[in-house]
């Protein structure tokens, strides 16, 4: 059965739809609701946010027609029909199927759905049907029960709005050659498929999807599978193209993708896989898709080898969208991206843009197996999906660009970053109980830095102590065993345990025992080594030692900790395991030499030492720092600063770890120091400590600035190494922001040259972010307005992004206020970029209070009118409150929580709690440390 029937219904449907206005459909549906409600929606089944397990979908036949021009009501709509075939697993007279913001056509049976028995086509009698908006269901009650083991088909016709809300089937707009164009595109993840068609919208409810798209002639239709038929036809006198796609593999609803656009593409083949990069025509013509095309094949090859499983599909489409909420989305066979993440312009894009493109492509393609082929049963374990893809994205990018040594960057970009959040009492475990994550906003909240970055960190640690070869062996077995089905995390631990046993890997407990301690309790330990006695201990690390941890741990906040360590430049061969609160390792006892633990930060923990060992490590840094591995130089800085915040070492000791930096030219230690000193800037840039700190930092960064000026022949040549290119940017950014005259002359001169000749930008792509910000900060309205005009005219997304952040660097309050107001007008700032603008303004010390006032004033409007697909509310709250450190600011935050409690905070609920906790800790830290910092910076500023 299937597609033949689908096509014949299609012609009837769209003839009917052409004759029935949206208003009529809405009216009919309203009548149907009023007539069939019976008050029965107060009963339990449809008030549960989880689907019952009585029905299991097998396949969907979906036809959608996005209308790319406004209707008589000024709306963009899509019309469609769907047939879902499902099996009855348990006898029931109730069908619950997800539906959100869809209007249904009343069919000839006087209901909004027609139910037939598969095989003989017997029509089943429907008693009543209604929508339950709270739980997002279409509810259908039957006059008789469905039979266990039998299959049925539910047919519906519906209309939805093709809104610009970046969720479900939505509208993206752009201008090309003076013509406004519309893309109909989709974001089903995590719970938005139900906004596009009625479906069993849970990850375990896998099915096959048969998709047909109706679209204007001359446009392209894309979906997960290859196009099997493209036919030009007419429906009620309207010329259309009908594109039919091959059926998908068995997959979850959130992975479905449907797009209609006026795009073109690049194409290549990797073995028997068709690879296509889709983008705006001008972007493809300018070569912005070339790099993505070049790296996709090698990355696919790497993962086929890594998993030891062939790519499951016949094609790999990747498409760059002008409006997209997430960075990218791993739809199976049709991956969607923000333009900045897929497109790379060889003339204007920076090396950071290039690295981002490679790592994000690797992240998304990793999901084609881990996540898509094998899917976690429920969203409470989303960390395993996202953490895994985050970890192996570095491996995939390393394969595509081996000269970059990109694997080391995970320490800065993920581990150090997530330590800051996971050290809060308001953090949360990687995995939660399944029944604690049920609401759509709770599901969205799971996609945070804990899931992505801590997930990546603990999986990297697991791969390290098992060895990569054993990790990969167990992983491959897991994927083959559970292909096209769903799992829980323990299924992976079991396969890895069997691989460990098969390879005689010696670990002190089972994989599950070890990993559950890292997964089921929040936070991480600090390992303290006393080199005078050899005593090693562990303790739950908290930035604020007086914070009250109310979340109970099943393991009493103790971990099984793999320790890789070295003694005076000699790495010890074996991993040593700390398995209790305290233990003794006599080999770590020393008086004259230094001990360094957590080599290359393969373990997810911090390390503290007795004062004598700290002094020996500091002495080593100041004499021959290269004897300490580069990642561990960064680790010493990061650990010391955070241990000081937790009152485990002195603030002075933390500051002393930066003194050696005048000799350091490597990126990773420098970036670690700048990340930690950023906290000091946030706390102190409105105080009398600010200027001495600026003077110290200028003294520290000047040798680095001179170094890069010399090795680049006065900024004319790009350094070879990826990390050198990154550190060159740090040198310019910090030298300018701390007031080094030579740097400011460099940036203002280059920006002025560009203003004098807008058609020729003389600024090297790598340096543009730093130069733009410095010049806009030093300038006034003329520089800002020039930057704004360049932003509005930018044809390369990465260039637009650089200008977007630079415009927030001005110290002119009126311009910052204007810029903030633009975030409420999508014609000025795209909805997807609004959060970035607000947080960028807040990052500017001249704009912090303006941004906070703006968010408070407009919260209800943004939250209710713009919706989850427009603002990243969690990152916005974190951004505008980052400087909070006074009693007055704490009171404002508490009032904000109280005033908007009724409106709600959605996915930012946890972020508000974390902001409150951070503000209290910041206030206390400032009181305890301000005078000591003033004294230290004043005495070390020098000339």
Residues belonging to the binding site for Zn(2+) are 363, 367, 386
Nearest Cα neighbor of 706 from 725, 745, 732, 726 is: 732
Q: How far apart are CA 810 and CA 806, in angstroms?
A: 8
Torsions phi, psi of 329, nearest 5? -145, 130
Distance, in Å, from the CA atom of 937 to the CA atom of 941, rounded to the nearest integer, reads: 6
Pairing of strands 220-223, 328-329: unpaired
From 333, 342, 357, 208, select the one nearest 273 (Cα to Cα).
333
> Rg of the Cα trace of the chain?
29
Q: Check if the beta carbon of residue 23 is closer than 8 Å to that of residue 47.
A: no
Distance linking the first and last C-alpha atoms of the chain: 83
Give the separation between CA 69 and CA 396, rounded to whole angstroms: 41
Q: Which helix (H) or strand (E) covers residue 160, if one does?
A: strand 151-161
Q: Could you identify the residue written with the tokens 């689907």?
A: 51
* 364 in catalytic set: yes
* Residue 397: φ, ψ to 5°: -65, -35
Which is the catalytic residue, given 161, 364, 799, 923? 364
CB contact at 8 A, 634 and 419: no
CB crowding 752-788: b at 16 or more within 10 Å, else e: bebeeeeeebebbbbbbbbbbbbbbbbbeeebbebbb
Cβ atoms within 10 Å of 15's Cβ, excluding its own = 13
Count of residues for the chain?
943
Residue 877 makes CB contacts below 8 A (sequence gap 6+) with 855, 905, 908, 911, 912, 915
Ordered DSSP codes for 482-528? TTTEEE-HHHHHHHHHHHHHHTT---SS-HHHHHHHHHSS-S-EEEE
- Residues in the annotated binding site: 363, 367, 386
Distance of CA 225 to the CA centre of its chain: 25
What CA–CA distance (Å, rounded) separates 358 from 645? 36
Q: What is the dihedral of CA 331, 335, 338, 339, to 10 degrees?
A: -160
Cα separation of 642 and 653, whole Å? 11
Q: What are phi and psi of 369, to 5 degrees?
A: -100, -60
Catalytic residues: 364
């Amino acid at each position: 059965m299937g597609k033949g029937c689908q096509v014949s219904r299609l012609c009837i449907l769209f003839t009917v739809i052409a004759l029935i206005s949206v208003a009529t459909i809405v009216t009919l549906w309203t009548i149907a609701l009023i007539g069939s409600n019976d008050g029965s929606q107060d009963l339990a089944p449809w008030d549960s946010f989880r689907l019952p397990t009585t029905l299991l979908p097998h396949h969907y036949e979906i036809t959608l027609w996005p209308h790319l021009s406004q209707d008589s009501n000024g709306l963009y709509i899509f019309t469609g029909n769907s047939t879902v075939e499902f099996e009855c697993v348990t006898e029931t007279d109730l069908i619950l199927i997800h539906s959100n913001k869809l209007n249904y056509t009343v069919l000839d049976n006087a209901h909004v759905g027609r139910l037939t028995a598969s095989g003989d086509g017997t029509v089943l009698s429907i008693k009543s049907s209604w929508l339950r908006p709270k739980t997002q269901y279409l509810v259908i009650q039957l006059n008789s029960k469905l039979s266990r083991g039998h299959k049925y088909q539910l047919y519906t016709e519906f209309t939805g709005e093709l809104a610009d809300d970046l969720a479900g089937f939505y509208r993206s707009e752009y201008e090309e050659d003076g013509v406004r164009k519309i893309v109909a595109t989709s974001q089903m993840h995590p719970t938005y498929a139900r906004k596009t068609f009625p479906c069993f919208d849970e990850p375990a409810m896998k099915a096959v999807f048969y998709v047909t798209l109706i679209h204007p002639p001359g446009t392209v239709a894309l979906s997960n599978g290859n196009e099997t038929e493209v036919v030009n036809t007419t429906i009620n006198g309207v010329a259309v193209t009908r594109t039919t796609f091959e059926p998908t593999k068995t997959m979850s609803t959130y992975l479905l993708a449907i797009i209609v656009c006026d795009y073109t593409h690049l194409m290549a083949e990797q073995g028997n896989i068709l690879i296509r990069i889709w983008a705006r025509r001008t972007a493809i013509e300018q070569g912005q898709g070339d790099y993505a095309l070049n790296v996709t094949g090698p990355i696919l090859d790497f993962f086929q080898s890594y998993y030891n499983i062939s790519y499951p599909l016949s094609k790999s489409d990747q498409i760059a969208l002008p409006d997209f909420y997430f960075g990218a989305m791993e739809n199976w066979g049709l991956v969607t991206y923000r333009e900045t993440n897929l497109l790379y312009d060889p003339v204007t894009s920076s090396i950071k843009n290039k690295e981002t493109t490679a790592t994000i492509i690797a992240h998304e393609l990793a999901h084609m197996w881990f996540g898509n082929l094998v899917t976690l049963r429920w969203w409470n374990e989303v960390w395993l999906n996202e953490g895994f893809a985050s970890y192996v994205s570095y491996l995939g990018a390393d394969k595509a660009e081996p000269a970059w040594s990109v694997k080391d960057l995970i320490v800065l970009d993920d581990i150090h970053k997530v330590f800051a959040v996971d050290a809060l009492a308001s953090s949360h475990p990687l995995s939660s109980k399944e029944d604690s994550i049920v609401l759509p906003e709770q599901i969205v909240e799971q996609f945070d830095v804990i899931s992505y970055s801590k997930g990546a960190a603990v999986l990297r640690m697991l791969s390290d102590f098992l060895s990569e070869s054993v990790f990969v062996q167990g992983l491959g077995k897991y994927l083959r065993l559970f292909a096209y089905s769903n799992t829980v995390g323990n299924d992976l631990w079991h396969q890895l345990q069997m691989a460990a046993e098969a390879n005689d890997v010696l670990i002190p407990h089972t994989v599950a025992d070890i990993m559950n301690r890292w997964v089921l309790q929040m936070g991480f330990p600090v390992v303290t080594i006393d080199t005078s006695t050899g005593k090693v201990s562990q303790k739950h690390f908290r930035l604020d030692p007086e914070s009250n941890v109310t979340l109970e741990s099943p393991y009493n906040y103790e971990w099984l900790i793999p320790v890789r360590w070295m003694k005076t430049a000699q790495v010890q061969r074996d991993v040593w395991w700390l398995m209790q609160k305290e233990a003794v390792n006599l080999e770590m006892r020393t008086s004259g030499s230094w001990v360094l633990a957590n080599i290359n930060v393969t373990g997810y923990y911090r390390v503290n030492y007795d004062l004598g060992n700290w002094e020996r490590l500091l002495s080593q840094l100041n004499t021959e720092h290269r004897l300490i591995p580069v990642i561990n130089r960064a680790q010493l800085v990061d650990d010391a600063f955070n241990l000081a915040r937790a009152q485990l070492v002195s603030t002075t000791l933390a500051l002393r770890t930066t003194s050696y930096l005048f000799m350091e030219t490597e990126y990773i230690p420098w970036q670690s120091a700048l990340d930690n000193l950023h906290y000091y800037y946030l706390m102190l840039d409105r105080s009398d400590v600010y200027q001495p700190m600026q003077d110290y930092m200028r003294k520290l960064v000047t040798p680095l600035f001179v170094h890069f000026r010399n090795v680049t022949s006065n900024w004319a040549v790009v350094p070879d190494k990826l990390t050198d290119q990154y550190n060159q940017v740090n040198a310019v950014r910090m030298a300018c922001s701390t007031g080094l005259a030579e740097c400011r002359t460099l940036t203002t001169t280059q920006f002025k040259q560009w203003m004098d000749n807008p058609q020729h930008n003389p600024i090297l792509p790598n340096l543009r972010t730093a130069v733009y910000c410095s010049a806009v900060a030093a300038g006034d309205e003329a520089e800002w307005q020039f930057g704004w005009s360049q932003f509005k005219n930018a044809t390369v997304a990465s260039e637009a992004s650089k200008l977007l952040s630079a415009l927030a660097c001005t110290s002119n309050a009126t311009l910052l206020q204007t810029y903030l107001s633009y975030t409420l007008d999508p014609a000025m700032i795209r909805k997807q970029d609004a959060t970035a603008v607000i947080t960028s303004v807040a990052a500017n010390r001249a704009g912090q209070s303006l941004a906070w006032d703006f968010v408070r004033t407009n919260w209800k409007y943004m939250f209710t009118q713009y919706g989850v697909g427009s603002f990243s509310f969690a990152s916005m709250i974190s951004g505008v409150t980052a400087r909070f450190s006074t009693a007055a600011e704490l009171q404002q935050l508490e009032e904000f929580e109280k005033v908007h409690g009724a409106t709600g905070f959605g996915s930012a609920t946890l972020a508000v709690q974390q902001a409150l906790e951070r503000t209290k800790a910041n206030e206390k830290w400032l009181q305890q440390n301000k005078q000591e910092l003033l004294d230290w910076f004043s005495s070390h500023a020098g000339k």
